[in-house]
Amino acid sequence: MSPVMNAERVRELREQKGMTRRDLAAVAGISVKTVRRVEREKPVMFRTGRAGPKAGARARPRVVTR
């Protein structure tokens, strides 16, 4: 069985966009743990019934200032 996602490519694109794993998780509607597992090529179960960002809407990562 071939992987559905390329872990290296996911990480590369996330970093190009200047996003943290937390940012990507928020935009994708998944947990940070799931992002971490994808980037480490660990088995991940996605539930298709879960709602993500509205179709066609561009979600923006949350900006955290300290």
The pLDDT score that the predictor gives to residue 17 is 93
Q: Has residue 24 been placed in a domain?
A: yes
Structural domain that includes position 28: 7-39
d(CA 52, CA 26): 9
This prediction's pTM: 0.60
In a domain, 51, yes or no: no
Q: Which of 2-6, 18-22, 26-30, 61-65 has the lowest mean pLDDT?
A: 61-65
Q: Is there a domain that residue 54 lies in?
A: no
Number of domains in the chain: 1
- 50 in a structural domain: no
User: What mean pLDDT is predicted for residues 22-36?
Assistant: 92
Establish if 19 belongs to a structural domain: yes
Q: Apex CA 17: angle with CA 63 and CA 50, to 5°?
A: 70
Please give the average per-residue pLDDT across 20-49, as a whole number. Answer: 84
Average pLDDT over residues 46-55: 55
Is residue 60, in this structure, part of any structural domain at all? no
